[in-house]
Structure 1
Amino acid sequence: MRKILNLAIVLSIFISSCHHKEEHGDQNVKFVATSPIKTDTTVFREYVCQIHSIQHIELRALEKSYLQNIYVDEGQFVKKGQMLFQIMPVIYRAEVQRAQAEVDFAAIEYNNTKALADSHVVSPNELALAKAKYEKAKSELALAKAHLSFTEIRAPFDGLIGTFNDVRIGSLLDEGELLTTLSDNSKMWVYFNVPEAEYLNYALQKRQDKPLKVLLRMANDQLYDQEGVIETIESDFNSETGNIAFRATFQNPNRILRHGQTGNILMPVPLKNVLLIPQKATYEVLDKTYVYVINNNNQIEAREIKIGAELPHLFVVREGLSEKDKILVEGLRKVKNKQKIRYEFEPLSKIISELHSIHAE
């Protein structure tokens, strides 16, 4: 019985010492603390966008006939004036020859009538009638030549050929039938919608002598290597969405961007004299954001803050902190509210530099 009692006492002492170590062990740990910094910075607002070629047209058959030749392929780059399709020209060439014969006949008739009119053999009215027939014949020849030219479908500008609309050599084409599309991708127009409040911020900050430049995040989450410039804003707000459309222009020297692509526009928003803190110095409870503020007694106190904007690794604090406050940066899960801690102070600039170095690797 005495052995059992002694064993119980030993176990009690051991457990008590373990609890003592757990309660005071964290006091030997040094945490990292910092203070918010006030600075000017820029955040980027992101908007879903649609990418369009500056010129995107449909190429259609202007005459009804058989498709005789296709000189290009889908996705091919073509130059202005290059032949794309040939519609069978036999009938239209014959029409030109007939019209030319009519012109020749009318010219002879007019010249004969003019000679007779000069000799006062025929009246001036007959001469005027012969001249009118001659002019009509010439106009019909011009029309026939126009119809013949429509059998040659050429590129009106440099661009990329789109998908063929189920047309093949020998296909019977109707007048106006769609053949393919042509896109000029040398520049791209990127459209995106901006809410009214953000439009007003942009309009108030805009400088007339300095156009606003924007970035484009492509569908693969990479940034496009050319900056865009906002050139136009739609005249009216959409009454259903409350948004207004912006259009940015991007140069496309390598033809990476294509008509119909999607992405995200990043619009810079300058912020003056804002407080920045590391994102990792915050935690959330029920959709509210908190930090641990260290008081003069080295005791931490949970404090709710309001986040204004987000930067890489940083938050812009709208309410709840000042430059003089010291906040806990690391070990937030290891401490409790009102706990006393030991800490080392590090300037926020150093912490930011370390964060960028880690993520760059």
Structure 2
Amino acid sequence: MTAERKDQHIELALAQQPGIGANDFDAVRFVHHALAGGDVAAVDLRTSFAGVHWPVPLYINGMTGGSARAGEVNHGLAIAARETGVPIASGSMSAYFKDPSQADTYRVLRRENPDGFVLANINAETSVEQARRGIELLAADALQIHINAVQETAMPEGDRAFSHWPERIAELAAGAGVPVVVKEVGFGLSRRTLERLRDLGVPAADVAGRGGTDFARIENDRRRLGEFAYLSGWGQSAPACLLEAGGLDGIDVLGSGGVRHPLDVVRALALGAAAVGVSGRFLAVLVQEGTEALIAEIRRWQGQLTQLMALLGAVDVPSLRRTDVLITGELAEYCRLRGIDVTGLARRSGT
């Protein structure tokens, strides 16, 4: 049943990709200063968070594992990560904990990418002992803990008790033995949630906002009656979450959810993300065009990141946080209602 669900997730996620168009990233605009540009050769893509150092602020976010089809997908993702040097996260390892025979559908991420940065991915129900098993299986450099109450609510066989998650997350953060990143699965992390995670001892969080793959819709599509259709579109976008997180100390923030192209990556970095994760777009390229096409796609993204940063006069990731940014439309209204003053972002370069 678990393997069948994993295969359904892949197919339903791919089915959503053609419909992903405008989202809140379009409400983030850079002020163009025509003489502010720098040199591509001078751009440094390195980034750091929670004691982790990456050569690029871009990573392949957690997707799948736990079935033969998922293992094939992970094989291609791992090769793409190896050839481009981007970090990669596994999909949820719950299928492995339930059925150890599925180990190789995850282990392939390390076998094909022996020197890369790999994150093991678990849910908030996982024990410390299980988490360590998952980390050992992948020789993982870090641990992702996904929180997904909306998805579980819409999932026919999902969990129905969430009150113990904070206690479990604190145990995992203290006992994992590697850096921990807590992430949503497409519904966003509010400032209140980020503050709670910080107080639980979590050093980094991926806001993983609305606007990309919608797991409430995926789980509802698995239901015979489709009675949770009204949950589609639930949550906050990645730009909204990053704006809420502005000025928050004690926890580093990553961004994902609805990232469509390199400009969205630069937008997220400018709003404070230490790195940006991509799932749906890369999955679609891999499945529809193959591993070599995905390698080429990621390399294009890396090249365009340096070009866009040079265009903006940003020599490194911290420099992007000093560029002038306009927040418009519904995203600006969200900020107004949440008491987030975004006017200063438009003049933060001092000009």
Whether TM-score is above 0.5 comes out as no
Q: Higher strand share goes to which structure?
A: 1
Q: Higher helix share goes to which structure?
A: 2
TM-score, normalised by the number of residues in structure 2: 0.17
TM-score, normalised by the number of residues in structure 1: 0.16
Larger-gyration structure (1/2): 1
